[in-house]
Amino acid sequence: MSLLLIFREALLDSYLSRYSVIIVDEAHERTVDTDVLLGYLKRVQKARSKSLTESSNDLNTNDNGLTLENRNSSEYAFSLKRCQGRKLPPLKLIIMSASLNAPLFSEFSGGAKVFHVHGRQYPVAIFYTRQPILDYIEGTLITIF
């Protein structure tokens, strides 16, 4: 699912109640959208964890809530009404990256577990031509062979 789609889902259902696991891949590609998404998912995760022990009404006034108390938005009001009285299961987040600073991100995520999966890296050889080439296929064949 793209960032745009998950943001659209969040507008309709601020607790993302249809999902029990969300995987964010390539988290090291730091963009404003990705950072906003990760911050939002962290808040959703915290709110859903609290929903197991508290009612949605309590979440409405909580400092860490997702309800944006100072905004009068019909989307949020609709979403909160749907969540009232429901005990949502915890949201599990899997953040994947080949080059993310794992200890720092684990700290940001409240001490989340870090798994390292070692993979093979193959050497990559880069060849350049001495002059610009009009036909890339022919130039590739000449350079390689």
Give the type of residue at 32: V
Cβ-based neighbours of 84, under 8 Å, separated by 6 or more: 55, 56, 57
Residue 142 within a domain: no
Mean pLDDT of 13-35: 88
Cβ-based neighbours of 102, under 8 Å, separated by 6 or more: 114, 116
CA gap 31, 82 in Å, rounded:
31
Q: Does residue 74 or residue 26 have the better pLDDT?
A: 26
Mean pLDDT of 109-125: 82
Assess whether pLDDT exceeds 60 at residue 80: no
CA 120 centroid distance within chain? 26
Residue 134 within a domain: no
Lowest mean pLDDT across 29-43, 79-93, 127-141: 79-93
Mean pLDDT of 105-118: 85
Assess whether pLDDT exceeds 70 at residue 57: no
Q: Does residue 40 or residue 145 have the better pLDDT?
A: 40
Lowest mean pLDDT across 16-30, 36-50, 61-75: 61-75
CA gap 122, 119 in Å, rounded:
10
Pairing of strands 21-24, 92-95: parallel
CA gap 91, 96 in Å, rounded:
16
Mean pLDDT of 32-57: 79
CB-side exposure of 142: number of CA atoms within 13 Å? Answer: 12
Residue 11 within a domain: yes
Residue 139 within a domain: no
Q: 60: which DSSP letter?
A: H
Q: Tell me if 21 sits within 8 A of 94, measured CB to CB.
A: yes
Residue 125 within a domain: no
CA gap 109, 39 in Å, rounded:
9
Take residue 18 and report the two structure tokens written for it: 């249809």
Residue 18 within a domain: yes
Q: Report pLDDT for 111.
A: 84
Mean pLDDT of 32-46: 90
Residue 80 within a domain: yes
Residue 70 within a domain: yes
The number of domains in the chain is: 1
Full residue range of the structural domain in which residue 65 is found: 3-120
Assess whether pLDDT exceeds 70 at residue 106: yes
Across 38-110, where does the E strand assignment appear?
92-95
Mean pLDDT of 82-109: 81
